[in-house]
Structure 1
Amino acid sequence: MLKFFRNLRKKLIEQNKVRKYLAYAIGEIILVVIGILIALQVNNENDQRKANKLEIKILKEIQINLQNDILEIRSDIELMEDLTKGVTNIKDFIKLNDKPTDSFNRNCALLRLTPHFNPITSGFKLLQSQGIGLVSNDSLRNAISFQYDMLYPYYKTYEEERSRFHSMHSEPILLNYFSMYFNEQNSMYQHGLFFETNTEDYLKLKEDKSFLKIITAISFENEIIKSRAKKVENSIIELIENISIELKNN
């Protein structure tokens, strides 16, 4: 084909047919431009297909991460619900009993619980490395950014505040009255934890108003964080559903 055009161009020049040569030259330029545009279009379509495949891959990984996150946040919520019940049981027990029991000790062990939520962020980090704009759906992209850049860090600040409160206020009082043990294999232990106090220390605890204040404060902190945890749970559920919808549309 190229040889044909070269021969044609040479023939027109030799025959001094300027007008025909110019028309030919313009036509040749137009053909070249059309060829370039077609090549660019094909290349753009290939790039778009690659971007779409990468977007789907990353969205699937984020979805798997979120499915693991929902299991962990629900486990944390269950622990916090156990703690709330434990505080109620402790208060009721102190009113009615003059000696500690294993049941009382197990409930007191719950006071040591400070669950930590550790979301899996591998999918989001991969998205960040490729550019958040890879997610073509604006509302989904904003929801993912909010989940990882705002909601998770915001929830973490509450957990950190609880940990500080525990180390500064709860732990010192608990250590005054209990010996602490940990054994995940012992069915008598609460989540692997067991507290133990003797009758003498128990009677002191019973009269110590600061103990009742601290366990009330523990319950208060716990309820605040539990309410935030449920918001995180709902947000995860919604984001998983939105990603599922997006994947079905691709």
Structure 2
Amino acid sequence: MLKLFRKIRQKLLSENRVNKYLLYAIGEIVLVVIGILIALQINNWNDKKKEEALEIKILKEIHSNLGHDLFEIQDDIRVMDSVDLASKSVIHFLKTKDEPTEDFYNDVAIIKVAPHFDSNKSGYELLISKGVEIVSNDSLRGAISVLYESAYSYYNKYEEERIKFKAEQIHPVLLKYYTAHVRPEFLWKSSFYIAPEDYVQMKKEGEFLRLVNGVNFENYMVHNRAERTKKYIQDLTKFIEEELHNKGVYY
């Protein structure tokens, strides 16, 4: 093609047809510019397709991570439900019973349990590494940021406070009054035994009852935050599914 253009230019020049040569030269420049613009448009289209493919990949990975996180938070909530029932049972038992029982020992073991939420952030970390602007939907991008930078961080602080409270407050008092036993047949693999005479003394002192009331209150606060975090996860999961649906990806 270039060889053909060169021949035409040479012919026009040899025939001294300057005006036609200039028109031809301008036309050739226009064709070159059009070719460049088309090439740029194709490159832009290819880049856009690559970005969209990367966005879909990241959103699918975050969606998968959220499935794991939902299971984790629901498991946390189930454990906290058990702690709630156990702490209320222990409080009632201490107020109404004069001797400990096997059920009492089991409930005492439950109140020391502190579940830990371990979120999977591989999709979000990939998003951060590629640039958050890869998510084209501004509202979705904001919702992702709220969950990972705010909701998760806030909930983790609640958990850290719970772990510290149980390590510094509950365990020392348990060991003050009880003897710990490994019980593989129990769900929590342990129980805390107390002699009948020590049980009577413990009730009289009141320290353990106050502590269990504190456990019940602390558990309520973390449980409430867990429920709110679960709602964030569910809402973002649905949001991502809608966005992927709009891009032709179906769940």
TM-score class, shorter: over 0.9
Check conservation: 1:109, 1:190, Cα contact below 8 A. Answer: no
Shift of 1:102: 1.0
Deviation per residue, 1:161-219 (Å, 9 max, x gap): 11222222222111111223445xx33x2333322222232222221211111111111
Distance 1:24 1:206 in 2: 106
Deviation per residue, 1:223-247 (Å, 9 max, x gap): 0010000000011001100111011
Question: Per the alignment, do residues 182 and 234 of structure 1 end up closer, same or farther by CA in structure 2, a change over 3 Å counting?
Answer: farther
Which among 229, 232, 237 is matched to residue 235 of structure 1? 232
Give the letter aligned to residue 129 of structure 1: S
Check conservation: 2:66, 2:233, Cα contact below 8 A. Answer: yes
Give the structure 2 partner of residue 198 of structure 1: 195
Distance 2:182 2:26 in 1: 87
Check conservation: 2:94, 2:209, Cα contact below 8 A. Answer: no
Shift of 1:96: 2.5
Give the structure 1 partner of residue 129 of structure 2: 129
Deviation per residue, 1:76-121 (Å, 9 max, x gap): 1111111111111111112232221110000000111111111100
Which stretch has the larger CA shift, 10-19 or 215-224?
10-19
Give the structure 2 partner of residue 210 of structure 1: 207
Q: 1:76-225 to 2 correspondence within 5 Å? A: 76-182=76-182, 186-187=184-185, 189-225=186-222
Give the letter aligned to residue 197 of structure 2: E
Check conservation: 1:62, 1:123, Cα contact below 8 A. Answer: yes
Check conservation: 2:66, 2:237, Cα contact below 8 A. Answer: yes
Distance 2:92 2:216 in 1: 14
Check conservation: 1:62, 1:121, Cα contact below 8 A. Answer: yes
Which stretch has the larger CA shift, 48-57 or 189-198?
189-198
Give the structure 2 partner of residue 47 of structure 1: 47
Check conservation: 2:91, 2:213, Cα contact below 8 A. Answer: no
Aligned-residue identity in percent:
45
Question: Per the alignment, do residues 159 and 65 of structure 1 end up closer, same or farther by CA in structure 2, a change over 3 Å counting?
Answer: same
Q: What's the RMSD between the two structures over aligned residues?
A: 1.2
Identify unmatched segments of 5+ residues in structure 2: none
Distance 2:47 2:182 in 1: 56
Which stretch has the larger CA shift, 194-203 or 96-105?
194-203
Q: Secondary structure at the match of 2:191?
A: strand
Q: Secondary structure at the match of 1:66?
A: helix
Check conservation: 1:178, 1:196, Cα contact below 8 A. Answer: yes
Superposition misfits of 4+ residues, deviation over 6 angstroms: none
Check conservation: 1:105, 1:194, Cα contact below 8 A. Answer: yes
Distance 1:25 1:19 in 2: 10
Identify unmatched segments of 5+ residues in structure 1: none
Distance 1:182 1:20 in 2: 101
Distance 1:76 1:208 in 2: 33
Deviation per residue, 1:46-100 (Å, 9 max, x gap): 1111111111111111011001111110111111111111111111112232221
